[in-house]
Amino acid sequence: MIYSRITGTGSYLPARVMTNQEFAARLDTSDAWIRSRTGIVQRHIAESSQGSSDLALHASVKALEAAGTKPADVDLIIVATSTPDYVFPSTACLLQAKLGVKGCAAFDVQAVCSGFVYGLATADSFIKAGGHKKALVVGAEVFSRILDWNDRGTCVLFGDGAGAVVLSADSKPGVHASILRADGSYADILSVPGNVCGGAIVGTPFLRMDGQAVFKFAVRVLEESARETLAAAKMALEDLDWLIPHQANVRILEATARKLGLPREKLVVTVDHHGNTSAASVPLALDEFVRSGKIRAGHRVLLQGVGGGFTWGSSLVTL
C-alpha cells in the first residue's frame, strides 16, 4: 500500500506589518475592539509588486529545503488560492516557472479558506493512486487586494502570506484520512461577488461577509468535521497531539476546541500575528509550530479548513 507523508514545511509572510493601531488611526475602530472580537494584533501586507506566486515561491523553497527535495524531483504542484496572480495561467504554473522546473502537473484549487486542506487531500489521492511520488502543496494569498479598506467589519480580519508542504510517497501513513465537504447554498454569507467582463468589473471586487453567520457556521462544521475525520481514521480525540483549524479568529478556534473537549494546550493559534490568510493559514501555522519544535516527528495533527463556498474539510496526519 502506498501512503503520503509530509516531509517538509515552509512559510512566508511579507515584510510589511500592519498593526491594529493603523486601522484605529483611519477608521472608527480600536485595537481593543479588534483584539477582543478576533484575537488579531497584526497582519502582513504584500508589496504591490508581489503576487501570490511570489509568496508561494518563498514558502515552497523553504519547504523543499526542509524536505531535502530538489524542485526537479517534484512531480505535482497544487496551489490553493482565491487571489491568483492572473485569471490564467494558474498560480501553480507561474510557481513552477519561478522554481525553474518544467513538465510536472501543476494546477490551482479554489476552495477559499479550505483550499489548503482540499489541495492536501487531492495530492494525497494522486500519490495513493500511484501516479505521483512528490507533491508540493501550497496555500498562498494576497487578500489585501480584495478588501474594502473602508469596511471596518472585514478589512481588519485578513492578511497576506503563504505556506507550503512537500508530500512524499511513503510505505507508512502520513495522511490517515481526509474528508472534504461543501454547501453552495451558503455562497452569500462570504463572497467576492464580482467578475471581469469586457474589460470591466461586473459586480463587486471586494469581500462581503455576514460575520455572525460565518462565525456560527464555522464553529459547527469544524466540530462536525473533526469528529467525522477522527472516525474515518479510527482514532479518538485523545490520539491527537495538535489541532490546527483554519486561522480565522481566536474566538472561532477556542469555541471549536471547547465544543470538542480538546485541551487548550493542543490548539494551535497563530492568527494573532498574521490575521486570516485564507488558504495559507493552515500550512503557515503548521510550519511555525514545526520550526519552533512544538510539533515533532510522530505527532498526530488534525488540519482543518473552512471558508467561502461554503467549503470545509479536515485531514488527519502523522508528521
Q: Which parts of this chain interact with ligand ACO (CB under 6 A)?
A: 29, 33-34, 37-38, 113, 152-153, 156-157, 190, 209, 211-212, 214-215, 218, 246, 248-249, 252, 276, 306-307
Residue 197 is among the residues annotated as catalytic for this protein: no
Among residues 95 and 286, whose Cβ is nearest to ligand ACO? 286
> Per-residue b/e over 42-52, b at no fewer than 16 CB within 10 Å?
bbbbbeeebbb
Specify the 3-state DSSP secondary structure of 259.
Answer: helix
Bridge partner residues of 267 (DSSP): 243
Contact status, residue 89 vs residue 73, Cβ threshold 8 Å: no
Among residues 50 and 82, whose Cβ is nearest to ligand ACO? 82
Q: Kind of pairing, strands 3-12 and 160-170?
A: antiparallel
Residue 58 is among the residues annotated as catalytic for this protein: no
Minimum CB–partner distance for residue 50 and ligand ACO (Å): 22
The cell numbers describing 158, all together, are 485578513
Catalytic residue among 113, 132, 176, 274: 113
Among residues 133 and 208, whose Cβ is nearest to ligand ACO? 208
Tell me the CB-side half-sphere exposure of residue 152, using CA atoms within 13 A: 15
Q: How far apart are CA 16 and CA 11, in angstroms?
A: 15
Minimum CB–partner distance for residue 307 and ligand ACO (Å): 5
> Rounded to 5 degrees, what angle do the CA atoms 234, 240, 245 make?
105
Residues 6+ apart with CB under 8 A from 164: 9, 10, 11, 56, 59, 60, 62, 63, 136, 137, 138, 139, 283, 287
Among residues 18 and 106, whose Cβ is nearest to ligand ACO? 18
The cell numbers describing 135, all together, are 507533491
Minimum CB–partner distance for residue 312 and ligand ACO (Å): 8
Among residues 38 and 168, whose Cβ is nearest to ligand ACO? 38
Minimum CB–partner distance for residue 308 and ligand ACO (Å): 7
Minimum CB–partner distance for residue 74 and ligand ACO (Å): 28
Minimum CB–partner distance for residue 203 and ligand ACO (Å): 19
Contact status, residue 319 vs residue 289, Cβ threshold 8 Å: no
Residue 276 is among the residues annotated as catalytic for this protein: yes
* Residue whose CB is nearest to ligand ACO in the complex, by number: 211
DSSP line for 229-252: HHHHTT--GGG-SEEEE--S-HHH
Catalytic residue among 155, 246, 249, 274: 246
Among residues 128 and 208, whose Cβ is nearest to ligand ACO? 208
Contact status, residue 319 vs residue 268, Cβ threshold 8 Å: no
Catalytic residue numbers, as ranges: 113, 246, 276
